[in-house]
Amino acid sequence: METVWITGASSGIGEACALRWAAQGARLILTSSSRERLEPVAARCQEEGAADVCVLPCDLGDPAAVEGLAEKAWDAFQGIDTVYLNAGISQRTTVEDTSMEMVRKIMEINYFSPVVLAKALLPRMLERGGGHIAVTTSIAGRFGFPLRCGYSSSKFALYGFFETLQAEYADKGIQVTLVCPGRVRTRISFYALDKGGRQHGQLDPGQAGGLSAEKAARKIVRAVEKGRREVLVGRGELVMVYIKRFFPGLCARLARRIKPM
């Protein structure tokens, strides 16, 4: 019986993936900042067939709270087979309007918390003979994107860390899957940081027209099960990843014209 830990599990991609793993009979550990939002997801997972569900709320923007979180998750069912480090926060501000406080908050949630959790789980997984670590990056981690300077930076950084983890531990039973979404229909734009650190508070048209979280989850869970190194999740916008690879100058010009909201 597989044990899966998902961060950012109270909505969007995290919730949809939790429900898919639940339908396969997995034991689930669900983390987000709000117990109130997690508990209905946990109840739905149990209805879908999860063997057991543990709710483990945590503010991943608080380094002190993140310390020790992996140990609590590991102890919930005496081990973890797969961790999906999905939690994240976005922004809707220009470089000029992005304070360093905002950059640090984004980096704390999007980069430092998954790094801390992966490093804490790694020796435990090695001792058991292996494990799978998946992490949500973004196509904004493959090329610069307007109004996303802090967000894009955090996603670029994830590629550096987790590709290194792949290279170092692939022959020691550790699998890593980089989940790279384009536009998926979630509430990430609603919770994104706006000027002054305020909540953006609206679902952007680009997000509203994106791939459904359920379709994204099917692709993500399947990629993890197959041990894929990376999975691109989205629609036509994913072509930018290939344009960046083969025609970087063209990608830079196109990025300037993208409607960022």
> pLDDT per residue over 130-143, tens digit each?
999 999 999 999 99
CA 248, 250, 253, 257: dihedral to nearest 10 degrees? -110
Q: What is the pLDDT of residue 89?
A: 96
DSSP H helical ranges for the chain: 12-23, 35-48, 63-66, 69-76, 100-107, 113-128, 149-169, 188-191, 205-208, 213-225, 239-246, 248-257
Q: What is the pLDDT of residue 261?
A: 56
pLDDT > 80? residue 228: yes
3-state SS, residue 84:
strand
Considering only 4-18, 71-85, 193-207, 217-231, which range has the smallest mean pLDDT? 193-207
- Residues 209-222 have a mean pLDDT of 95
State the chain's mean pLDDT as an integer.
Answer: 94
Q: Tell me if residue 151 is catalytic.
A: yes
Which range scores top for mean pLDDT: 99-108, 181-190, 196-205, 250-259? Answer: 99-108
Q: Where are the domains of the chain?
A: 3-257
For the beta carbon of residue 212, count every other beta carbon within 10 angstroms: 12
The structure's pTM equals 0.95
Considering only 19-23, 140-144, 254-258, which range has the smallest mean pLDDT? 254-258
Q: What is the pLDDT of residue 187?
A: 81
> What is the Cα–Cα distance from 86 to 133, expressed in whole angstroms?
11
Among 84, 111, 151, 169, which one carries the catalytic annotation? 151
Higher pLDDT, 223 or 257: 223
Report strand pairing: 184-185 vs 211-212.
parallel
- Residues 167-194 have a mean pLDDT of 93
> What is the Cα–Cα distance from 7 to 86, expressed in whole angstroms?
5
- Residues 127-154 have a mean pLDDT of 95
DSSP readout, 91-115? B-B-TTT--HHHHHHHHIIIIIHHH
Q: What is the pLDDT of residue 82?
A: 98
> What is the Cα–Cα distance from 44 to 46, expressed in whole angstroms?
5
| Residue percentage of the chain with pLDDT more than 70 | 99
Whether 211 contacts 237, CB under 8 Å: no
pLDDT > 80? residue 206: no
| Residue percentage of the chain with pLDDT more than 90 | 80
For the stretch 38-46, contacts whose Cβ atoms lie closer than 8 Å and that sit 24 or more positions apart, written own/partner, are 38/9, 38/10, 41/9, 41/10, 41/11, 41/15, 44/19, 45/18, 45/19, 46/22
> What is the Cα–Cα distance from 217 to 207, expressed in whole angstroms?
16
In which band, very low, low, confident or very high, does the pLDDT at 209 lie, cut at 50, 70 and 90? confident
Task: Please identify, in words, the CATH class of the domain defined by 3-257.
Answer: alpha beta
- Residues 216-235 have a mean pLDDT of 97
Nearest alpha carbon to residue 84 among 223, 212, 184 = 223
Q: What is the pLDDT of residue 256?
A: 84
